[in-house]
Structures are given as structure tokens and as C-alpha cells.
């Protein structure tokens, strides 16, 4: 059943080879990703039904032997966290298609491959399959940015690919370490829990955590993110910041923390400091940027840093907040990037110093941007507030000095976030129209509106009904039984 | 005299028959219209030989253990067969050019002669036999390298190759004399029982290994490779970098397992060092290359380092991984060389700059090249990812996590230079003298389809791995 989520983008990709015709390509891609969203919802419903009947950690599981001599299986299954990630990916991927309306066939071929990787990753239970899909998701980025990007695109594409692959080199060493030191006869995550000897956890945990952390924008390995996101085309930024960076956080939790909780307890202070730096440094970095995409990219470093920060707090409340933050950040950053795409396609600049008064010119896009901004700075009623609130409550549960201090420091990022969001909003949306040419610009087109409305709806849904999402997450955490 | 020993070697006899037939064909039909049929006939016969190789061969020894046949050796020969067939498919277009057409037959005949030598290398049960095989396999390659003898580079490549081959054979022979002196026998099985960590044996082993290291182009015995790869005709380069290298690796694997197993503690560290050195040096030099053949010379040097990684622990998983790695490497590297051959035949150029904008002019070739390069870099879901993973798994199983990490970081370095090719083809704008759109030779197209299928299927379908594993266990 779950494999459908991989097959749909794969078949969409193959179907694209039939013709280069723009109409055909659009139809196929919208149909493909629409079907993917439907399938994701079906998976979610099936999961909820199965959840009511079972307390197994992973549901809807399937297992096929792939390479018998090495105990490699194609094993898939989901828990509440992966279901939410799948829904997030489906929403962002579909809205990304609308934001890439005028792109050519080849672009969507790689876009579909990216989706194959992302969905395969979230449904995988076997470490080998998981790693395979992880790399499948990374490599199309090189061409997506390199061919269709803007600015220093070759540099950014190369930097992003090499840094992420560097991370996956650490990761693969860690995965092999997990398999061979555990003495297990399976690479299935659910079978590996509690089998890794403590002595080995000390070196495997950092490898795996940093390996995934590179994608989760762990300081000091975040530097690919601003360049990459700024150079990428709109929908790729959306998918990358919205979904791909979540692969990092998800992996840190699913592999590093849940397989090696003992080492996580011992070593979390090092990484807490690093993620604390990510959170604050990202926020301050965003304040001084003048390029809209750079602002948002640094803001992503800050928000994704907060995800890792919360994961490392190692308790149910903070972890619930972390997953919510992943959802919230995924949706709102996708919204940001799609709106930046709208502005950029019309004004041909992303420099906030050259924009002004866009609210009068493009009211729809501007209002959406304000909403995204409010979600980002944590206005109650939108998703950001719930997520950050839960994280900080969870962090505060620890009574030791280091975590208290770090929590306070991380909290200050909210204020800094408000500074750069309000500054940007004020600069580009209000005030006089700086460039007279901007008065002629048109507002968002229907496909751009679809993209924005869907994302805002999801942000509001999480904001006003956090208990629904929170319940799914905390129940999964209970069944995993690691905290 | 007892001729029953020949029954043990059907594949050698079959190849010999093809060789003799083609030689006769070439001599008798020279400069007649019948030469039109030479290429199809040669390829058809080679295909038969390849398919036949997959049927179970008799197992055992012949001629007093001089010759050994086992499922493992049959498997190795089949891999060599596939490589040779692909090279033959790719060579045709270039051989048909006016300046070469008169010598068309020679290429096939010489190639088959070297293949016969490789069969003997793989099936040897005695060091003299192994040496004989190596000589048969390498001397004719010098002719192939110098095939375009009026081109300066080609002649240089031939000369370099023959000198280096002679030197390495000499070194190897020197080592063998020590080994014989220490143990009083040349038979693998007798030596396996007699081998001990004595200075003379170790010295003999080191010399022998150095000789073989030349053939695999391990650092520091690699210096001939870039010049020869660049100067030799592209089909020869493909043959050298894949089939010839594979045969040498197979011989090394067999000797390490069957003869020097007892010395594993000693050669483990030697191989460790050489392997790291080979990977790192190959990678670093590949970064700066501008000629694509030279580029692939360094890339295949570093790939040889990865191959050694599987040999390192002498485990059966490592042996399977090594064979599997070579199998995937064959498809990946030959796919790349197929594209290089096609572009070179069209434009006469081999610099990386001529690949700029290739995706615009020849999208299919660019896609094949992309798959080849990604497979070499170990990107999933292509074969190269699986083969690298198994190699690393074999090393990790032996506890060499540090080495795995070093090798993996090097794959990131290699990704950098492989991405340069991708960047040239897909991102960079074509220059004024860019390669124009053209149709690829049908035979070469077949070879590219074969290689692409190999790259895509061999990893995802586990049957191939299991098939190889059956032979190695």
C-alpha cells in the first residue's frame, strides 16, 4: 500500500518522457501530484483506522527480502510522525507544481525524482532503503538548481550537493556501524532498537546525527542552505526548505535518537549548543540580509535549528513540538518561497531595498505574505505559535542549568524573528512605491493563488486545531517508548 | 598423450576456435566485399561465446593442476566476455573509418587473443601458467594501443605500454623466483600449504604484487595509465580500463585467496595503505584534468582503489562484493567510453569542453553519460550505489570503519569531478565549436543500451548479486 506513494511520482516521471508539450506536461504533473496528495490522505486515514486497533510502533508495514546475504529488505511502514511528514510533503509538492507553472518538461522529470526520494524516505523502515531514498532525494537538486536556478547557481548547486553528500558519507559509515556492531540480522529500524553496544554508540551517534544534521541545517554545516535556497528556482526552494530539510530532522530522530538513546543522553549537550547557535545565528543572519530569499533561508536555518534543538531535549513534549515545528516550518517556508517567487517574477528583483508599497500593487500576494510572516514570528492561531510554544515548554521541563540557559537563549530568537519579519514586511509591502514601474504589475495568477491558499489553509488548520496533530504525534512517541 | 584435459576447458577452446576462424577470415577475405560481414560475424560469434559461458562448465583441474576450473572462474570469464563484447560493439564505427578499414580485422583478432590470455590468468593453478596468461593478455594490447601508429600519441602510448609491461613482468618474475626459492614449488595448492611469514616469501610476494599492481594501475604503479589511456584509440582505452583491469583484479583475488591466505595479516596492511593511496591520488589528479580520456584514466585509478577495499579482508562477502563491483564498473565505465567514442568519431575531440551543451544537441548520449558518471560516483538507484555499498559493507564487517569513512569522503571528492562532466553537459552553454547533433552508430547504440540497462537493472534486481554470490561461496 505505502509503495504507491513511491510509484506515483515514478510513473509520473516516466509519463513525462512521452511528450514535451507544455499542456501535456502540466496535465500529467498536476494529475500525478494530485493523485499523490489523495494517496497520502488515504494512507493517513488507513493509518488512523489501524492505529485504533493496534499499538505496534509501525503500521501498514510490508517487508520484502531484497539482498538476502546482507539482510537487506525493502521494508516500509509508518507511524504518526511519518504520516504527518507524508501529508506535508504531498501538500508542498503539489503547491510547488503550481508555483512552477511555466517550467519545461525536464524540470518536472527531476522534480518527480526528488519526490520519489522524499516519499520513499519517509515510508522506509529498513536503513538501507532509507539511505537509498535519502540520496535519491539529494541528487536531482544539483540539476534543478544548476540548470533552472538564478544568480550563482553553479556554485550553489555544487556546494549544496557536495555538503549534503559529505553528510551522507558520515551517515553511511554510521549505518554500517549500526548494522555490524549490533549483531542484528536485520537492518530494520524496529528490530535494531536497543541492540547497539554502548561503547559503539559513542562514535556512531555523532556520525549519524551530524550526517542527518547537515541536511537539517546544523551549525556549522548549514552554509549550503542560504546559497542553495537563494539560487534555486521557486518551487525547488519550496520543496527543499519545506520538505527536504525535514528529512534531516526526521532522520536525526528516527535513527540517531531512537536507536541510540543512551548516547543521545550523554552527548546531547554538545549538539544542543550547536543547534542553539543555529537558532540564534540564523535569526540574526536573517536580520542583516537584503535579499528576500536569503532572509528566508537564514530564517529556515533558525527554525530548522529549533527542530533539532527540540529533538535533543529528549522528552515527549519537546519532541511533539519538534514535529509540529517541522510541519509548521514546512508549510510556512513553502508559502514564503512561493510568494517570493510571485514578487520576483514580476519585479525581477529580490532586493528589499528596491521594493516598496507592494500591498497596493499586489494585494493578494502581499496579504498572504503578511500571514506567512505572522506564522513565522509565532502569532497565536497560526501553526508557528503552537509549535514553538510546545518546544519551549518541553525544554523547560529540564531543570539543569545548561538546558535552562540554552532555552532562554533560544527563546530570544522569537524576538529577533519578529524584527526581521516586520522589517521586511514594512519595507516591501508598505510605504511608497519606490519603483514607478512596479505600479503596472499584476497580482498573483490563479495557479499562484491556489498554491498560497492551500498552504495558508493548512497553517491555520494546525494553528486552530493543534490537539489533533499533537495527539497523533504523542501517541506515536508513546508506542516508540524511547523517552 | 592424454587429451582428456582439454575437455575441462571448453570456453578456452571455443574462444580459440573463434580466434582462428576470424584470423582465417581476415586473411582470406582481405580487401574483398566479404569484409562487410566481418564485424557482424565477429560480434555474433562473441555473443555466442558469452552466452555459452553462462552455462555450467565442468569443474576440476586439468594438466596436473596447471589449469583450474570452478564456478568462480567461469563467472569471472563471463564478466570478461561481456566487457569484450561491448568493446567490440563500440569499436566498429572507428574501425570503419577509411584510415583504419584495411586493418579492421586485426582489432578483433588481437582483442580475442588477449581475452584468451585473461582466461588463462583466471584459470591458472600454477604461477608459470599465470605468468603465461598475463603475457598473452598484455603484449598484444600494446599493438592495440599503437593501432593509430601514425598518430604521435598512439605510438607513444604503445611504446609506453610495452615498456611498462615488460618492466612489470620482469619485476613479477623476480618475485616469483624468490617464491620458488622459498617454497620449491610453483603450484598454488602446494604453495598454500607451504607459505609462511619468512622474509624471502614476503619479499617475493611484494615483488609479485608490484608486478600485478602495474596491471591494475594501483598508485604508485599507475604513472603509465594516463598517458596510455589518452594516447590509445578510445576502444583500446575502454578495453584497458575495464576488461584488462578486471582480469588483473581477478588474478589478484584468486592468488590472495588460494596462495597467500596465511599471510593475510601482512598483506592486509599493505593493501590498506595502497588502497587509500590509490583512491586519494586518483581522485586528486582527476580534478584537474581537461581531457576526458585522461580524466577517466584517473577516475578508473581511484575506482581500482575501491576494488581493493573488497579484497582487503579476504572474506567471502568481500569476494562477492569485489566481483559485483567489477561487474557494475564494467557497465558504467563502458557506457562512458561508448559516449566518448561516439563524440570522438563525430568531432575528433576528447576535451571536456567539447561536452558543453551536449544535452541540447544529443540528449540521449548526454543521459547515458549522466547515468554512467552517477553510477561511477555511487548515486542510487544505479548499480554503482549498490556495488559501493557492498564493498563498504565488506570492509565494515572486518571492523575497518576508519577506512570506510576515508573512502566515503573520497566518494564525495569524486562526486565533485563527476559533477563537472554533468555540469558541462547540462548546465554550461555550448561553445562556438560545440558538437553538433548526430546519429550514433547502430552497433554502438546497442552497446549503450546494453550498458544503460546494466547500470539501471543490476543494482535494483538482486538476482545478479545472488548469482555471483552463489559462485563465490
3-state secondary structure of B194: helix
Q: DSSP character for B241?
A: I
Per residue in B105-129, is it b (16+ CB within 10 Å) or e — as a string?
Answer: bbbbbbbbbbbbbbbbbbbbbbbeb
**Sequential DSSP letters for A314-375:** -SHHHHHHHHHHHHHHHHHHHHHHHHHHHHHHHHS--BGGG---HHHH-HHHHHHHHHHHHH
Query: Which single residue is written with the C-alpha cell 518541553?
Result: A394
C-beta separation of B369 from B336 below 8 A: yes
Q: What is the mean pLDDT of residues A14-19?
A: 88
Is residue B47 scored above 70 in pLDDT?
yes
Residues B364 and B397 occupy one common structural domain: yes
3-state secondary structure of A121: helix
For residue B438, the model assigns a pLDDT of 82
Is residue B149 scored above 80 in pLDDT?
no
pLDDT in tens, B262-304: 888 888 888 888 999 999 999 999 998 889 999 999 999 999 9
| Burial category of B11 from C-beta neighbours within 10 Å (exposed 0-12, middle 13-18, buried 19 and up) | buried
Contact B470/A at CB under 8 A: no
For residue B452, the model assigns a pLDDT of 94
- The reply to whether residue A69 touches residue B320, judged by beta carbons under 8 angstroms, is yes
- The reply to whether residue A162 touches residue B415, judged by beta carbons under 8 angstroms, is yes
- The reply to whether residue B462 touches residue A169, judged by beta carbons under 8 angstroms, is no
C-beta separation of A84 from A327 below 8 A: yes
Which residues are within 8 A (CB) of B75 and not within 5 positions of it... i.e. 6 or more apart? B323, B468, B471, B472
Cα angle, residue B51 at apex, residues B50 and B56 outer, rounded to 5°: 105
Closest to B7 in 3D by CA, of B87, B77, B45, B63: B63
Domain holding B265, by residue range, is 260-473
> Chain A residue closest to B408 (CA)?
A169
Last residue of a domain, one of B207, B224, B257: B257
Q: What is the mean pLDDT of residues A25-48?
A: 91
Q: What is the mean pLDDT of residues B148-176?
A: 87
Q: Tell me the longest C-alpha to C-alpha distance in chain B.
A: 69
Closest to A122 in 3D by CA, of A93, A85, A87: A85
Of B310, B380, B413, B462, which to mutate for an interface test with A (greatest number of A Cβ within 10 Å)? B380
Last residue of a domain, one of B257, B290, B307: B257
Instruction: Give, rounded to a whole angstrom, the gap between the first and last alpha carbons of chain A.
Output: 30
Is residue B86 scored above 90 in pLDDT?
yes
Closest to A381 in 3D by CA, of A255, A465, A299: A465
Neighbours of B182 (CB within 10 A): 20
**Sequential DSSP letters for B52-111:** HHTSPPP-EEETTTTEEE-HHHHHHHHHHHHHHHHHHHHHHHHHTSHHHHTTHHHHHHHH
3-state secondary structure of A66: strand
Residues B422 and B284 occupy one common structural domain: yes
d(CA B355, CA B404): 33
Window 361-420 of B, Cβ < 8 Å to A: 374, 379-381, 385, 389-390, 392-393, 396-397, 399, 401, 404-405, 408-409, 411-412, 415-416, 419
Which residues are within 8 A (CB) of B243 and not within 5 positions of it... i.e. 6 or more apart? B80, B83, B84, B87, B115, B118, B330
Neighbours of B63 (CB within 10 A): 15
For residue B473, the model assigns a pLDDT of 62
pLDDT in tens, A294-329: 998 999 999 999 999 999 988 888 889 999 999 999
ipTM of the complex in this document: 0.90
Of residues B397, B411, B423, nearest to A169 (C-beta): B411
Last residue of a domain, one of B257, B285, B317: B257
Query: Which single residue is written with the C-alpha cell 549498490?
Result: B386
Which residues are within 8 A (CB) of B150 and not within 5 positions of it... i.e. 6 or more apart? none
Neighbours of A287 (CB within 10 A): 16
Contact A146/B at CB under 8 A: yes
Distance of alpha carbon A431 from the chain centroid: 34
Question: Chain B contacts of A139, Cβ < 8 Å?
Answer: 374, 379
Segment holding A73, helix H or strand E: strand A72-78
CA distance B283 to chain A (A): 15
Closest to A307 in 3D by CA, of A294, A293, A292, A326: A326
Is residue A255 scored above 80 in pLDDT?
yes
pLDDT range class, residue B1, cuts 50, 70, 90: low
Question: Chain A contacts of B399, Cβ < 8 Å?
Answer: 180
> Residue A433: left (phi > 0), alpha (psi -120 to 50), or beta?
beta
Residues B161 and B205 occupy one common structural domain: yes
d(CA A322, CA A312): 10
Closest to B396 in 3D by CA, of A175, A468, A243: A175
Residues B353 and B274 occupy one common structural domain: yes
d(CA B47, CA B113): 16
Closest to B215 in 3D by CA, of B340, B323, B130, B107: B130
Residue A415: is the preceding peptide bond cis (ω within 30°)? no
Taking all residues of chain A, what is their mean pLDDT, rounded to a whole number? Answer: 88
Strand A59-67 vs strand B67-69: parallel, antiparallel, or unpaired? unpaired
> Residue B357: left (phi > 0), alpha (psi -120 to 50), or beta?
left
Report the C-alpha dihedral over residues B359, B363, B366, B367, rounded to 10 degrees.
120
Contact B421/A at CB under 8 A: no
All three cell numbers of A224: 549550503
For residue A268, the model assigns a pLDDT of 87
Q: DSSP character for B221?
A: S
Distance of alpha carbon A483 from the chain centroid: 24
pLDDT range class, residue A35, cuts 50, 70, 90: very high
Is residue A40 scored above 90 in pLDDT?
yes
Of residues A70, A135, A147, nearest to B380 (C-beta): A135
d(CA A348, CA B225): 51
C-beta separation of A109 from A13 below 8 A: yes
> Residue A381: left (phi > 0), alpha (psi -120 to 50), or beta?
left
CA distance A203 to chain B (A): 10
pLDDT in tens, A161-178: 999 999 999 999 999 999
Contact B469/A at CB under 8 A: yes
Which residues are within 8 A (CB) of B76 and not within 5 positions of it... i.e. 6 or more apart? B122, B246, B247, B250, B323
d(CA B222, CA B217): 4
Is residue A38 scored above 90 in pLDDT?
yes
pLDDT in tens, A392-449: 998 888 888 888 888 988 888 888 998 899 988 888 888 888 777 777 778 878 888 8
Of residues B415, B426, B427, nearest to A165 (C-beta): B415
Residues B211 and B63 occupy one common structural domain: yes
Question: Chain B contacts of A203, Cβ < 8 Å?
Answer: 401
C-beta separation of B280 from B301 below 8 A: no
3-state secondary structure of A79: coil
Window 64-103 of A, Cβ < 8 Å to B: 66-70
d(CA B53, CA A197): 47
Segment holding A101, helix H or strand E: none
Phi, psi of B110 (to 5 degrees): -65, -40
Per residue in A162-185, is it b (16+ CB within 10 Å) or e — as a string?
Answer: bbbbbbbbbbbbbbbbbbbbbebe
| Domains held by chain B: number | 2
Residues B391 and B356 occupy one common structural domain: yes
Percent composition of chain B: helix, strand, coil (DSSP 3-state, to 5): 80, 0, 20
Residues B47 and B159 occupy one common structural domain: yes
Contact B440/A at CB under 8 A: no
d(CA A389, CA A407): 12
Contact A128/B at CB under 8 A: yes
Of residues A135, A147, A166, nearest to B379 (C-beta): A135
pLDDT in tens, A136-162: 988 888 999 988 888 888 899 999 999
Instruction: Give, rounded to a whole angstrom, the gap between the first and last alpha carbons of chain B.
Output: 35
3-state secondary structure of A64: strand
Of residues B404, B416, B469, nearest to A176 (C-beta): B404
d(CA A77, CA A161): 28
Please provide the size of chain A in residues: 483
Contact B287/A at CB under 8 A: no
Residues B322 and B408 occupy one common structural domain: yes
CA distances A214 to A208, A296, A331, A437, B253, Å, are: 10, 18, 21, 41, 38
> Residue A481: left (phi > 0), alpha (psi -120 to 50), or beta?
left
CA distance A193 to chain B (A): 20
Amino acid at each position: 500500500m505505502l509503495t504507491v506513494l513511491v510509484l506515483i511520482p515514478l510513473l509520473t516521471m516516466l509519463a513525462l518522457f512521452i511528450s514535451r508539450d507544455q499542456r501535456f506536461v502540466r496535465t500529467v504533473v498536476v494529475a500525478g501530484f494530485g493523485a499523490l496528495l489523495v494517496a497520502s490522505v488515504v494512507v493517513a486515514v488507513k493509518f488512523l483506522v489501524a492505529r485504533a486497533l493496534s499499538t505496534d510502533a509501525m503500521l501498514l508495514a510490508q517487508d520484502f527480502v531484497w539482498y538476502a546475504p546482507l539482510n537487506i529488505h525493502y521494508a516500509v511502514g509508518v507511524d504518526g510522525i511519518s504520516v504527518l511528514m507524508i501529508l506535508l510533503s504531498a501538500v508542498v509538492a503539489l503547491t510547488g507544481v503550481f508555483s512552477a507553472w511555466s517550467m519545461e518538461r525536464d524540470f518536472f522529470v527531476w522534480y518527480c525524482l526528488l519526490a520519489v526520494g522524499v516519499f520513499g524516505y519517509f515510508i522506509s523502515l529498513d536503513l538501507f532503503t532509507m539511505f537509498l531514498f535519502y540520496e535519491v532525494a539529494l541528487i536531482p537538486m544539483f540539476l534543478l538548481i544548476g540548470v533552472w536556478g538564478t544568480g550563482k547557481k553553479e556554485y550553489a548547486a555544487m556546494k549544496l550537493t557536495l555538503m549534503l553528500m559529505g553528510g551522507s558519507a558520515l551517515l553511511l559509515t554510521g549505518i554500517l556501524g549500526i548494522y555490524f556492531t549490533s549483531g542484528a540480522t536485520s537492518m530494520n529500524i524496529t528490530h535494531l532498537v536497543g541492540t547497539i553496544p554502548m561503547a559503539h554508540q559513542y562514535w556512531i551517534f555523532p556520525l549519524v546525527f551530524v550526517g542527518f544534521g547537515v541536511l537539517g541545517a546544523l551549525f556549522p554545516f548549514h552554509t549550503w542552505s542560504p546559497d542553495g535556497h537563494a539560487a534555486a528556482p521557486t518551487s525547488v526552494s519550496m520543496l527543499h526548505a519545506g520538505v527536504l530539510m525535514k528529512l534531516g530532522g526526521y532522520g536525526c530522530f528516527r535513527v540517531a535518537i531512537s536507536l541510540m538513546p543512551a548516547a543521545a543522553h550523554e552527548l546531547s549537550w554538545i549538539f544542543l549548543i550547536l543547534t542553539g547557535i543555529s537558532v540564534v545565528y540564523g535569526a540574526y543572519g536573517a536580520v542583516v540580509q537584503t535579499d528576500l530569499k536569503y532572509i528566508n533561508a537564514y530564517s529556515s536555518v533558525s527554525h530548522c535549528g529549533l527542530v533539532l534543538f527540540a529533538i535533543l531535549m529528549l522528552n515527549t513534549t519537546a519532541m511533539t513540538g519538534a514535529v509540529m515545528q517541522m510541519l509548521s516550518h514546512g508549510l510556512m517556508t513553502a508559502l514564503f518561497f512561493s510568494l517570493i517567487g510571485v514578487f520576483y517574477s514580476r519585479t525581477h528583483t529580490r532586493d528589499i531595498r528596491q521594493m516598496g508599497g507592494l500591498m497596493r500593487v499586489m494585494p493578494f500576494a502581499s496579504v498572504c505574505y503578511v500571514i506567512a510572516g505572522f506564522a513565522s514570528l509565532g502569532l497565536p492561531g497560526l501553526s508557528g505559535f503552537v509549535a514553538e510554544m510546545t518546544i519551549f515548554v518541553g525544554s523547560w521541563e529540564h531543570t539543569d542549568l545548561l538546558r535552562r540557559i540554552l532555552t532562554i537563549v533560544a527563546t530570544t530568537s522569537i524576538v529577533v524573528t519578529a524584527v526581521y519579519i516586520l522589517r521586511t514586511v514594512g519595507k516591501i509591502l508598505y510605504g511608497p512605491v519606490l519603483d514607478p514601474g512596479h505600479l503596472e504589475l499584476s497580482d498573483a495568477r490563479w495557479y499562484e493563488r491556489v498554491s498560497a491558499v492551500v498552504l495558508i489553509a493548512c497553517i491555520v488548520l494546525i494553528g486552530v486545531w493543534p490537539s489533533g496533530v499533537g495527539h497523533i504525534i504523542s501517541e506515536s512517541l508513546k508506542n516508540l517508548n524511547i523517552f | 598423450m592424454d587429451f582428456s584435459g582439454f575437455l575441462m576447458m571448453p570456453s578456452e577452446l571455443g574462444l580459440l576456435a573463434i580466434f582462428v576462424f576470424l584470423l582465417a577470415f581476415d586473411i582470406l577475405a582481405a580487401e574483398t566485399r566479404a569484409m562487410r560481414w566481418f564485424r557482424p560475424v565477429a560480434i555474433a560469434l562473441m555473443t555466442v561465446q558469452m552466452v555459452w559461458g553462462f552455462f555450467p562448465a565442468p569443474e576440476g583441474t586439468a594438466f596436473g593442476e596447471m589449469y583450474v576450473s570452478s564456478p568462480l572462474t567461469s563467472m569471472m570469464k563471463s564478466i570478461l566476455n561481456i566487457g569484450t563484447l561491448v568493446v567490440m560493439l563500440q569499436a566498429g564505427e572507428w574501425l570503419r573509418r577509411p584510415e583504419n578499414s584495411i586493418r579492421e580485422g586485426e582489432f578483433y583478432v588481437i582483442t580475442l587473443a588477449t581475452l584468451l590470455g585473461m582466461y588463462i590468468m583466471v584459470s591458472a593453478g600454477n604461477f608459470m601458467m599465470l605468468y603465461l596468461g598475463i603475457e598473452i593478455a598484455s603484449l598484444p594490447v600494446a599493438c592495440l594501443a599503437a593501432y593509430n601508429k601514425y598518430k604521435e600519441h598512439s605510438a607513444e602510448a604503445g611504446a609506453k605500454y610495452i615498456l611498462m609491461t615488460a618492466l612489470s613482468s620482469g619485476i613479477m618474475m623476480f618475485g616469483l623466483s624468490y617464491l620458488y626459492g622459498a617454497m620449491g614449488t610453483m603450484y598454488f595448492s602446494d604453495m598454500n600449504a607451504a607459505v609462511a611469514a619468512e622474509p624471502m616469501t614476503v619479499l617475493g610476494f611484494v615483488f609479485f604484487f608490484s608486478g600485478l599492481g602495474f596491471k591494475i594501475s594501483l598508485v604508485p604503479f599507475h604513472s603509465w595509465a594516463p598517458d596510455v589511456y589518452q594516447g590509445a584509440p578510445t576502444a583500446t582505452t575502454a578495453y584497458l580500463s575495464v576488461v584488462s583491469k578486471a582480469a588483473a583484479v581477478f588474478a589478484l583475488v584468486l592468488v590472495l585467496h588460494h596462495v597467500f591466505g596465511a599471510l593475510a595479516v601482512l598483506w592486509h596492511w599493505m593493501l590498506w595503505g595502497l588502497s587509500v593511496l590509490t583512491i586519494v591520488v586518483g581522485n586528486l589528479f582527476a580534478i584537474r584534468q581537461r581531457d576526458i580520456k585522461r580524466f577517466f584514466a584517473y577516475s578508473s585509478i581511484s575506482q581500482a582503489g575501491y576494488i581493493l577495499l573488497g579484497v582487503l579482508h579476504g572474506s567471502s562477502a568481500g569476494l562477492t562484493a569485489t566481483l559485483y563491483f567489477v561487474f557494475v564498473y564494467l557497465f558504467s565505465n563502458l557506457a562512458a567510453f561508448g559516449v566518448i567514442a561516439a563524440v570522438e568519431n563525430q568531432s575528433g575531440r576528447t576535451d571536456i569542453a567539447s561536452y558543453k551543451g551536449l544535452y541540447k544537441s544529443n540528449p540521449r548520449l548526454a543521459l547515458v553519460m549522466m547515468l554512467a558518471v552517477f553510477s561511477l560516483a555511487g548515486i542510487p538507484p544505479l548499480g554503482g550505489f549498490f556495488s559501493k555499498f557492498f564493498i563498504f559493507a565488506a570492509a565494515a564487517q572486518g571492523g575497518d570503519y576508519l577506512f570506510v569513512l576515508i573512502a566515503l569522503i573520497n566518494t564525495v571528492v569524486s562526486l565533485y569531478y563527476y559533477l563537472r562532466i554533468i555540469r558541462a553537459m547540462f548546465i554550461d552553454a555550448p561553445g562556438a565549436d560545440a558538437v553538433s547533433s548526430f546519429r550514433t552508430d547502430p552497433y554502438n547504440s546497442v552497446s549503450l543500451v546494453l550498458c544503460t540497462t546494466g547500470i539501471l537493472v543490476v543494482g535494483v534486481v538482486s538476482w545478479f548479486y545472488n548469482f555471483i554470490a552463489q559462485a563465490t561461496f
